[in-house]
Amino acid sequence: MTSETIAVAMSGGVDSSTVAAMLRAEGHNVIGLTMQLWNQRRLAGREGMPESVQGRCCSLDDVYDARRVAQQIGIPYYVVNHEERFERDVVRPFVEEYLSGRTPIPCSLCNNHLKFDQLLIVARQIGADRIATGHYARVGYDKARGRWLLKRPADLSKDQTYFLFGLTQDQLSRTLFPLGDMTKPEVRELARKHGLALAEKPDSQEICFVPGGDYKRFIDAYLAEQGESLPDTAGELVTTGGEVLGEHAGIHSFTVGQRKGLGVATGSPLYVIQISGANKQVVVGGEEHLYSRTLRARRVNMISVANLGEPMRVAVKIRHRHEPAPATIEKMKIEKTNVESAKIEGTKIEGSGNDEILVTFDQPQRAITPGQAAVFYDGDIVVGGGWIA
Amino acid sequence: MRRVYLDNNATTPLLPEVFEAMRPYFGERFGNASSIHHHGQETRAAVESARESVAVLLGCRAAEIVFTSGGTEADNLAISGLAKGGDHVITSSVEHHAVLHACKHLEEIGCEVTYVPVDGRGLVDPGDVRRALRPNTKLISIMMANNETGVLQPVEEIGKIAAEAGALFHTDAVQAASKVPTDVGRIGCHALSISGHKMHAPQGVGALYVRKGTRIQPLFYGGRHERSRRAGTENVPGIVALGKAAQLAKEALDRGDDKKMAALRDRLEQGILAQVDEAGVNGEGAPRVPNTTNVHFDHIEGEAIVIALDLKGLAVSTGAACSSGAIEPSHVLVAMGLRADQARASIRFSLGRQTVAEDIDFALALVPETVARLRELSPVYRRAALSS
């Protein structure tokens, strides 16, 4: 293997630390980079947020861990500050999506706008040819197709391709996922072999900037800090038949498929079927109403093909913990005046932009949730993906 | 890899003579300078002769020097020790955080603090200081040289204003002493801070000049060290080193070494500006210490420049080392009227006594090509190029 200069995105966790150690052991010229994305102390103690936060992404502890690994394996290491971009491209949209009645995925936005955009730019500016991360995914060039392909990893239980569907061909061509062929236990074993003290460090699960996972409290605290009042998103709780059951305190407290905390007592269990941002209605109904055969995916990014010409048979994953379900995808004709996509375009569009794709499942799927991603698979290959409208 | 260090405003390497001077005090001369016996007498003598050397550098009496743990402690001692709740204090918007945050503390304990602005060159207008005076103005604290830009403030004029108003005057001379002649009599200050590691002594030692007869409240409770102005057993090796560094600095200034350093700095600065467009010197047109230049390279992030240069062997910084990793652009550059993006695109080069002509050549060979590469890969630069 020839040696090249590779920047490793180091979070201070086991996966990216092991990547750095592996590449270093292979003789590459490795540079460790940690993105400082969010000041965890910023909202501490505000609106009931925890006073102290520990061991989360961007905490001083994680930077400390990443730096110690870099020192141990003998690579230069730097922290780069992207807090401003993170707030603009990830935190703000996260808050706005909830307030519009959708359920966002900040990790995908962070991958598209920060890790594989800003950090890749810095990496190239400082002389690295490629960037490596600790994601569980595989990437490679397919000569026959003339495309860079994103593929599911060997360890499907750790598959992170769902969060990576927005990567462009240019980004994929400059990315390495060295853990793609390994299982998590193998990664920990390798970390131990390299003598990394954090080999047993627990995985992070929650959204990095929402300590404790209470996103409602986070939204309250963030808006209070910004001097903005929480918009009034209270409205009616109605049944699928249109019957008004009562009032709810705000659409951002709900997510499609939710059963608990609806504040109404009826004979049969009720679920959130739909959240309407326009008229602030939360529609509830029986479980049978949760199932739907179609969805529209917006702001689509195609990976294995440049464009979707003919309808295509794929498997579609509609949330992180969802088994991809057989479906047909086809391009939709859309009006150019789509306000939503125009607004997002102002920042940066992932992929080809205004395309919309209609997904028709063979079997109805439970709780298709606007704001989440629909990612299309052909076996292990990620065909593309978009955001559920 | 060849490494060139141009970040001497962050810290300086020990001069070999300084290291030799302090070495015995880690070994055979270990006594506590307050002890009665031989060992104590030996170190007491060393501490007092260091005090004399520092006094010579600053043009004061030895008894007016209080040794501290560094510049930050000296600044804190001056500010917390000279003002109390109810007083009015005047400082500037471009002070080091050691002064600014000490002033914030004063506000918490009931002082009112006026932060006078600077102009585009980074200079305080002494007229602003005069206009800020109030009947209860107790203390004026304006730095002698700025750590980020090297800009020298008109401290002698401010000293006169303080004297006329009957206010105390403290100046943070951490980045000035040893680089330019520093005479407390000419400045007319009541207190002046210096730091060892900015003048080729080690980290962890500094001093505060306190004019005779000026009552100062100590920061620490403890023994009666340093004439009851700073409790705690003296850091003898550090103090000896500071004394030696002060002596060497004074000799160098007397020889005119500062002019040689200014010539090297000017060659670096002009060489960069000749090869890089859309760049400029922050603080241009103001008097500056001879070792510092702060340049904005528009359309790129200073952070990336620092990393790229470090990987090629050149050590520089985006500004104060204490602010590394901060999101806010430099408060100094913003106060001078730079746009936030320009402030973030700024790099400080600071020379030391060890800097030689070849180091400047090395930097001049590296900086323009690095900036060009960064700009080529900067989306902001490409947009700016397209729209012009």
**Domain-embedded: residue A224:** no
Residues of B in contact with A127 (CB under 8 A): 308, 311, 373
Check whether residue A120 and residue A243 sit in a common domain: no
- Convert the pLDDT of each residue in B133-153 to its tens digit: 999 999 999 999 999 999 999
Find, among B328, B322, B326, the residue nearest to B340 by Cα: B328
- Convert the pLDDT of each residue in B297-313 to its tens digit: 999 999 999 999 999 99
Check whether residue A273 and residue A297 sit in a common domain: no
Quote the pLDDT of residue A1.
57
Question: Residue B304 and residue A80: Cβ atoms within 8 Å?
Answer: yes
Residue A110 falls in the annotated catalytic set: yes
Where does residue A192 fall: left (phi above 0), alpha (psi -120 to 50 degrees), or beta otherwise?
A: alpha
DSSP helix/strand/coil, A358: strand
**Domain-embedded: residue A173:** no
Q: What are phi and psi of A200, to 5 degrees?
A: -100, 10
Check whether residue A183 and residue A36 sit in a common domain: yes
Interface test with B, best of A5, A35, A75, A125 (most B CBs within 10 A): A125
Check whether residue A205 and residue A319 sit in a common domain: no
Q: Beta strand pairing status for A130-132 and A138-142?
A: unpaired
Range of the domain at A304: 290-388
Query: CB distance from B383 to chain A under 8 Å?
Result: no
Query: CB distance from B301 to chain A under 8 Å?
Result: yes
Check whether residue A280 and residue A313 sit in a common domain: no
Question: Residue A125 and residue B374: Cβ atoms within 8 Å?
Answer: yes
Confidence of residue A229 (pLDDT cuts 50, 70, 90): confident
Find, among A172, A176, A178, A124, the residue nearest to A148 by Cα: A172
Exposed/middle/buried for A257, CB within 10 Å: 0-12, 13-18, 19+? middle
**Domain-embedded: residue A240:** yes
Check whether residue A344 and residue A196 sit in a common domain: no
Contacts of B53 by beta carbon, 8 Å cutoff, 6+ apart:
B243, B244, B246, B247, B250
Quote the pLDDT of residue A231.
85
Question: Residue B301 and residue A84: Cβ atoms within 8 Å?
Answer: no
**Domain-embedded: residue A170:** no
Check whether residue A85 and residue A210 sit in a common domain: yes
Domain count, chain A: 3
Which neighbouring-strand residues pair with B349? B293
- Could you tell me how many residues make up chain A? 389
Is-contact B77 B170, C-beta < 8 A? no
**Domain-embedded: residue A243:** yes
- What element of type H or E holds A387? strand A381-388
Contacts of A73 by beta carbon, 8 Å cutoff, 6+ apart:
A20, A21, A24, A30, A194
Unique residue bearing structure tokens 């080193």: B241
Question: Residue A83 and residue B327: Cβ atoms within 8 Å?
Answer: yes
Quote the pLDDT of residue A348.
42
Check whether residue A188 and residue A56 sit in a common domain: yes
**Domain-embedded: residue A145:** no
Is-contact A35 A114, C-beta < 8 A? yes
Question: Residue B307 and residue A80: Cβ atoms within 8 Å?
Answer: yes
Query: CB distance from B307 to chain A under 8 Å?
Result: yes
Check whether residue A85 and residue A207 sit in a common domain: yes
Query: CB distance from B303 to chain A under 8 Å?
Result: yes
CA distance B319 to B296: 11
Q: What is the CATH number of the domain that holds A337?
A: 2.40.30.10
Residues of A in contact with B310 (CB under 8 A): 76, 78
* Whether pLDDT at A349 is above 50: no
Confidence of residue B381 (pLDDT cuts 50, 70, 90): confident
CA distance A311 to A328: 7
Contacts of B245 by beta carbon, 8 Å cutoff, 6+ apart:
B15, B18, B178, B196, B199, B200, B201
Sheet holding A281-285, edge to edge: A244-248, A235-239, A281-285, A271-276
With b meaning 16 or more CB within 10 Å and e meaning fewer, what string describes B365-381? ebbbebbebbbebbeeb
Quote the pLDDT of residue A249.
86
* Whether pLDDT at A345 is above 60: no
Q: What angle do CA B345, B346, B351 make, to 5 degrees?
A: 150
Confidence of residue B324 (pLDDT cuts 50, 70, 90): low
Q: pLDDT > 90: what percent of chain A?
A: 68
Quote the pLDDT of residue B315.
98
- Domains of chain B and CATH, by start: 4-12+255-387 (3.90.1150.10), 16-253 (3.40.640.10)
Cβ–Cβ pairs < 8 A, chains A and B: 41
Is the model more confident about B329 or about A383?
A: A383
* Average pLDDT for A64-68: 94
- Convert the pLDDT of each residue in A41-53 to its tens digit: 788 778 777 776 5
Confidence of residue A259 (pLDDT cuts 50, 70, 90): confident
Quote the pLDDT of residue A8.
98
Check whether residue A310 and residue A265 sit in a common domain: no
- Asked which of B17-26, B244-253, B344-353, B379-388 is least confident by mean pLDDT, the reply is B379-388
Is-contact A115 A35, C-beta < 8 A? yes
Q: What is the CATH number of the domain that holds A252?
A: 2.30.30
- Convert the pLDDT of each residue in B175-211 to its tens digit: 999 999 999 999 999 999 999 999 999 999 999 999 9
CA distance B20 to B241: 9
- Asked which of A97-111, A288-302, B323-337 is least confident by mean pLDDT, the reply is B323-337
Nearest CA in chain A to B302: A80
* Whether pLDDT at A343 is above 50: no
* Average pLDDT for A69-82: 95
**Domain-embedded: residue A45:** yes
The torsion of the CA quartet A49, A54, A56, A59, rounded to 10 degrees, works out to: 100
Residue type, B144: M
Check whether residue A90 and residue A209 sit in a common domain: yes
Unique residue bearing structure tokens 């890899």: B1
Check whether residue A206 and residue A123 sit in a common domain: yes
Confidence of residue B369 (pLDDT cuts 50, 70, 90): very high
Find, among A263, A291, A298, A261, the residue nearest to A97 by Cα: A298
Nearest CA in chain B to A120: B377
**Domain-embedded: residue A361:** yes
Is-contact A300 A351, C-beta < 8 A? yes
Q: What is the CATH number of the domain that holds A38?
A: 3.40.50.620
* Whether pLDDT at A319 is above 70: yes
Nearest CA in chain A to B326: A81
Residue of B311, B325, B373 lying closest to A31 (CB–CB): B311
Residues of B in contact with A30 (CB under 8 A): none
Residues of B in contact with A122 (CB under 8 A): 301, 303-304, 307
Quote the pLDDT of residue A334.
59
In the listed set A226, A254, A285, which residue is the last one of a domain according to the structure?
A285
Query: CB distance from B327 to chain A under 8 Å?
Result: yes
The pair of three-digit structure tokens given for residue A253, joined into one six-digit string: 């407290």
